[in-house]
Amino acid sequence: MTTIGSALNAFEAAKEIEEYVIEIRRDLHLHPEIGMQGVRTMKVVTDELEKLGITYEIVPNGGIIGTICGEQEGKSLILRADLDALPMQEAETNLKGKKTVVSLNDDAAHTCGHDGHTAMLLGAAKILSENKDKLKGKVILVFEQGEEIGKGIFALVNRLVEIGADGVWGIHLKSDVPAGRISVDAGPRMSSAFGFKAQITGKSGHGSRPDLAVSPLDCFTDFYTHLKAMRLTSLDPFKTTTYSIGSISSGSAWNVIPDTLEFSGTVRYLHYDQGVLAEQELRRLLEKTCELHRCSYQFLHEPKAVDLLVYNPADCAAIAQNAVTKAIGSHALYTYPAWMASESFAFYQKYFPGVFAFVGIENEEKGTGAEHHNAHFDIDEDVLKLGVAATVQYTLDFLGSEQEVAFTPEQRSVKDLFQAMGY
């Protein structure tokens, strides 16, 4: 049985079960499942929870919620991990050589780190469940399905709001943070985002007489030029916003000017007001450019700014920084700017105050550090015990603290919130 209590014991307990965590991570990595297909993955988790004597419920189209009750009454804390892989083929090598373990499925791969997230949470669950006598309050374990496609989050958050909790904690392995370092900074951690898809309609014609046609491609290139200038002409330079076009489709023959062109992209931002402004400008630029080029347009997926920033409140971040220092040492703390990717963890933080931690996996010697969603992505497994230790210590400190976290939860129902966010 693992033991916890004083400053370094969370780390010592994590070291004791390091092989257990790595074994689970490797098993999940060998057998990845995408989207909501995670039948095997879900069974791995529920089998482990049963072995640990942890009660759980399966939330349809959501995931798994387990519960560990301490022997003393107190607050409750959600610990969250995600389960799904990506629909892609994994390379056998990382940035330096052969990987320790490679997916057996050519159509799916854990190239974002969710296998590590799940393994770390099960490791923390093992420690906490074996030490319930030292635990004040309740731990709610959450294993989310379909994070990459945003499909499991609604059912899970809806159920968690029914259950109720005082806080939330989550981890994301981070490819460009040095292995052994952990960022639990206060403030923006991951961006809000919205996607868009539009069709521009012109007039088809023969390539020999472009004057008799109305090219949607000419219209798009002009629009794209103005869109690129939006950052300089319309958006606040002190409030980070990024945007990009990810796909363009038009025409099928060399000598035919097509009728239509479709394009899609995303906008990401750390300040909601800039997201609203970017949406308005995108719409205005497309309307005016189409008017100038005698084209029409329609949105196939409407741009809609949403307020879904992953944000660590200062008081929760302070608890986390102290927890990392106690469990691992102050040398492990790492300051990292906001990551401009987006995460469903933002939905949890609408209702529960908490921390999203970045655990570094970049190790040049081991060849880990390829970007997330890259075929060469790999993790330094030595850091998994650090994530477990930080999770355990944050749990103990948050539940054991008498401090009230300054937080105003979202007042709308989960259904109303998701409808407002376009889900």
Q: Residue 109: CA atoms inside 13 Å, Cβ hemisphere, count?
A: 20
Q: What local confidence, expressed as pLDDT, does residue 406 receive? A: 86
Contact 182, 247 (CB under 8 A): no
Q: What's residue 314's pLDDT?
A: 96
Residue whose pair of structure tokens reads 């995460």 in the numeric block = 343
C-beta separation of 161 from 351 below 8 A:
yes
* Three-state SS annotation for 357-421: EEEEEEECCCCECCCCCCCCCCCCHHHHHHHHHHHHHHHHHHHHCCCCCCCCCCCCCHHHHHHHC
- Give residue 4's pLDDT: 44
pLDDT per residue of the chain (423 residues) written in tens, 0 to 9: 444 444 448 999 999 999 999 999 999 999 999 999 899 999 999 999 999 999 999 999 999 999 999 988 999 999 999 999 999 999 999 999 999 999 999 999 999 999 999 999 999 999 999 999 889 999 999 999 999 999 999 999 999 999 999 999 999 999 999 999 999 999 999 999 999 999 999 999 999 999 999 999 999 999 999 999 998 999 999 999 999 999 999 999 999 999 999 999 999 999 999 999 999 999 999 999 999 999 999 999 999 999 999 999 999 999 999 999 999 999 999 999 999 999 999 999 999 999 999 999 999 999 999 999 999 999 999 999 999 999 999 999 999 988 888 888 988 899 988 888 877
pLDDT at residue number 404: 84
* Secondary structure of residue 325 in the 3-state scheme: helix
Q: Are 163 and 285 in contact (CB under 8 A)?
A: no
Report strand pairing: 72-82 vs 136-144: parallel
Please classify residue 102 by burial: count the beta carbons closer than 10 Å to its beta carbon, then call 0-12 exposed, 13-18 middle and 19+ buried.
middle
Angle, CA 123 vertex, CA 117 and CA 127 arms, to 5°: 145
Burial class (CB in 10 A: 0-12, 13-18, 19+), 409: exposed
Which tokens hold the place of 140? 């709610």
Dihedral angle at the C-alpha atoms of 198, 202, 205, 207, nearest 10 degrees? Answer: -60
Q: What is the dihedral of CA 247, 248, 249, 251, to 10 degrees?
A: -160
